[in-house]
């Protein structure tokens, strides 16, 4: 069965897409919500660190990093599997997937979503401006990695339908 990675900037809709895939009966994981699968690490030493109590991370010093054995474990399933995330050096994992999708979004829509976002960390002073300040640059870097772009300004159901069509799967999976 297929293995698919859905990535994009914070606020692009990854979590919503993963939830919608789960609701349709697909095996889908938001790896941010899985302790041990993704960890905050010191970029220089690789040391795992705790999330700061302030909720503000110095991204010049730290990175959000997938743990390879855990990712391989999730993908070892006989099921079709979707993973959603944006992590440090994620391109190292692209060979594990049949397709990689990046959810693309314009700055105005991103601002609107971040202002309403469920993750508390996006509501820290200056965090939305930090994300928006390099949004286009980082989004273009993802696109240049050879991933398939998906217009994420649309309603979640349309985004999910688009992804499922591109991988040749039914819009609603029938489970027994």
**Which tokens sit at 18?**
């993963």
Tell me if residue 43 falls in helix, strand or coil.
coil
The answer to the question of residue 61 being in a domain is: yes
Tell me if residue 155 falls in helix, strand or coil.
coil
The answer to the question of residue 173 being in a domain is: no
Question: Which CATH number covers residue 123?
Answer: 3.40.50.300
Q: What strands lie across the sheet with 148-151, from one edge to the other?
A: 27-30, 81-84, 3-7, 99-104, 148-151
Which runs of consecutive H residues, i.e. helices, occur in 24-134?
68-75, 107-116, 127-133
Per-residue confidence band for 52, with pLDDT thresholds at 50, 70 and 90: confident
What's the pLDDT score for residue 123? 55
**Rounded CA separation 162/145 (Å):** 20
Task: Flag whether pLDDT at 89 surpasses 50.
Answer: yes
The domain tally of the chain equals 1
- Comparing CA positions, the residue from 6, 16, 11 lying closest to residue 131 is 11
Backbone angles phi, psi at 121, to 5 degrees: -60, -25
The answer to the question of residue 174 being in a domain is: no
Higher pLDDT, 53 or 165: 165
Range of the domain at 102: 3-166
The answer to the question of residue 176 being in a domain is: no
- Comparing CA positions, the residue from 96, 89, 85, 90 lying closest to residue 33 is 85
pTM here? 0.88
What's the pLDDT score for residue 119? 61
Task: Flag whether pLDDT at 174 surpasses 70.
Answer: no
């Amino acid at each position: 069965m297929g293995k698919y990675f859905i990535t994009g900037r914070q606020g692009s809709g990854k979590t919503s897409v993963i939830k919608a895939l789960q609701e349709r009966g697909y095996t889908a994981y938001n790896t941010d919500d899985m302790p041990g699968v993704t960890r905050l690490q010191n970029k220089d030493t690789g040391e795992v660190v705790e999330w700061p109590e302030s909720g503000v991370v110095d991204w010049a010093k730290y990175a959000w990093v997938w743990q390879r054995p855990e990712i391989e474990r999730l993908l070892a399933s006989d099921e079709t599997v979707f993973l959603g995330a944006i992590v440090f050096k994620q391109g190292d994992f692209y060979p594990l997937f049949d397709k990689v999708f990046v959810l693309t979004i314009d700055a105005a829509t991103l601002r609107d979503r971040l202002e309403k976002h469920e993750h508390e960390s996006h509501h820290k002073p200056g965090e939305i401006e930090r994300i928006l300040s390099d949004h286009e640059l980082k989004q273009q870097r993802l696109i240049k990695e050879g991933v398939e772009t998906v217009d994420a300004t649309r309603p979640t159901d349309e985004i999910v339908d688009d992804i499922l069509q591109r991988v040749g799967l039914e819009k609603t999976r029938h489970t027994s």
